Amino acid sequence: MEWDSSDDGLDAFMSSQESESPEPTPTTSKISEHEFSCHCCYDILVNPTTLTCGHNFCRHCLALWWESSHKNECPECREKWEGFPKINILLRDATNKLFSSVVQQRRTEIQANPKISRSLLAFQRYGDNLGRSKTKRSKGAGIFFSGVLTALSCVAVMVLVYHWSAGVDERHDPLISKPVSRWTPEEVLSWLDQLGPWAHLYREPFQQENVNGRLLLMLGEEELLKPPYNIGNQAHQRAVLAELNRIKLLGVKPPQNLWEYKEANAGKSLFLLYALKRSPRLTLFYLYLFDYTETFLPFLHTCCPALTHAERSESIFLNTQLEPSLGQWTEFLIKYLLLPYQLIAEFAWDWLAVHYWTSRFVIVNTVLLSVLEGCALWRLCVGAEIRSLPNKMWSHVWKMLSQGFAFAVLWPFIPQFVCNCLFYWALYLSPIINIDLVVRHLMHPETQAL
C-alpha cells in the first residue's frame, strides 16, 4: 500500500499547531467603584436618581442641593430637570448587588443624620405637591369645559344677584305671616282669588258682606250653602272648606310657592334643600313620618297625580289633602327606590311657570345627581364591593342623622344672611359643581363602560 506524502505533511502541521496553541482561559473585566460614584459626594451611589440630562446623584445629595440652591437644575451641568426626579431602580439594584456592604454602611450613616432626613422629607413633599398640582390641571374636560363652567357660573351669579337686588324674598304674600283674625276684607278677597279662577264666581258675595278675617274663621259648610254665598257646586264647596280648615289649623295662609315656603319655614327650607341633595330617600321618609300633611302629601300628589291638570284645576287644594290611591303609592314607591331625584325634578317641573329659572336649575341638578348615583353603584358592582353596600348604607344613615342633629342644634344661632347665602349657593351654584363631578366620574377608567 502506498502513502500520500501530502497527507503526512498535513497531519504533521495540525499536530504542531495543536501543541503550540495554548488552552483558552476565561477573561474577566474589572468593575471599579468610580463608575458607580455620585458626582456630588464622589462615593458609591445610594438610591441613585437620574436627571433628564443623564447625570446620576445620590437621592440625599440631590435633596441637599435642591434645598440649598432652590433651583431645579443639575448640580454638574446646570441643566434644568423636568418633572420630579425619580430613583433609577435598575442602577440602584446594580449598586446594591455589587457593593452591598458599602451601600449598607452609607445607608446607616444617612439615616443617622437628622439634617439629611429633613432635606429628604422636604424634597419628597415638594414632589408630592408638584404631582397633585399636575393632577388637578389634567382633570376636567380641557379649556372648553372650563369656559362652559365659567359661563354657567356667571349665569348663576346673575340669577343670585337678581334675587338679592329685586328682593324676590320680599315679594311674598304678607298673609303667610299675618294671623287670619287680623285679615282685612281686601286680604280675604286676595286669599279667595288665589284658590283658582273658579273662585271669582263667589268674589262678589264676599265683597258685599265685607268679610274680614274674623268672619272668615266663623264660616262653615252651612253658611257657604246659604245666601248670600250660595256655593252649590260640591267641588267648589269642598275646596273652600278644605282651605278654610287649613288656615284655621295654621292660623295663617299656607305658602303657595318656593319663596313663600322659604319665608314661612326658613330653617326647614334650608334643611330640605341640602337633605334632598345628599339623601333624597331618607329625607322623603322623614317627611312621611313628621310632616305628612303639610309637605309630604302635596309633594306626592304633585309628582304622582291621580287626575289630569284639567280635572284637578278646580279642586287642587282639596286634592293635595286627599289620601293617595294605590296606583299613586305604587308609582311613588318605584320612583322612590329607583329614581328618587326624578321625583324632585317632577316637582320642580310642576312649578316651572312660577319659578322659571329656579326650576330649571333644580331639574338640571337632579339629572346630574342621578348620574353621580349611577356611577357610584356602577363602581360598587364592577369593583366587587357590593357586599360592602349594607355597611356603606348604615354609615350614610348615621352620617345624615348626626348632621341633621347638628343642624337642629346650630340653626337658631346662624345669622339669617349666612342662611340665605347657603340657600342660594345650594340652589344655583351646586349644579355647576356637579357638572364637573359628573365629567370626572365619566372620564374615570372605572366608569368608562357607562
* Residue 319 contacts residue 301 (beta carbons within 8 Å): yes
Instruction: Retrieve residue 320's grid coordinates.
Output: 293635595
* Separation CA 415–CA 410 (nearest Å): 10
Q: Specify burial of residue 433 (Cβ count, 10 A radius: 0-12, 13-18, 19+).
A: middle
* Separation CA 295–CA 313 (nearest Å): 20
- One digit per residue, pLDDT tens: the chain, 450 residues? 344 444 444 454 445 444 444 444 444 346 677 788 888 888 888 889 988 888 889 998 988 988 888 888 888 888 888 878 888 888 888 888 888 888 888 888 888 888 888 888 888 888 877 766 555 544 444 454 555 566 666 766 666 666 555 555 445 667 888 899 899 999 999 888 888 788 888 888 899 889 998 988 888 888 888 888 888 888 788 888 888 888 888 888 888 888 888 888 888 888 898 899 889 999 999 999 998 888 898 899 888 887 554 444 455 555 666 788 899 999 999 999 999 999 999 999 988 888 888 899 899 999 999 998 888 888 777 655 677 778 888 888 888 888 888 888 888 888 877 888 888 888 888 888 888 788 877 765 444 433
User: How many angstroms from the chain centroid is the CA of residue 235?
Assistant: 46
Nearest of 254, 275, 257 to residue 423 by alpha carbon? 275
Q: Where are the domains of the chain?
A: 34-136, 174-250, 258-306+322-444
Please tell me whether residue 96 adopts helix, strand or coil conformation.
Answer: helix
* Residue 261 contacts residue 354 (beta carbons within 8 Å): no
Q: Specify burial of residue 416 (Cβ count, 10 A radius: 0-12, 13-18, 19+).
A: exposed
Tell me which of 3.30.360.10, 3.40.50.1580, 3.30.470.20, 3.30.40.10 is the CATH number of domain 34-136: 3.30.40.10
Superfamily for 174-250?
A: Transcription Factor, Ets-1 (1.10.150.50)
Instruction: Retrieve residue 103's grid coordinates.
Output: 451601600
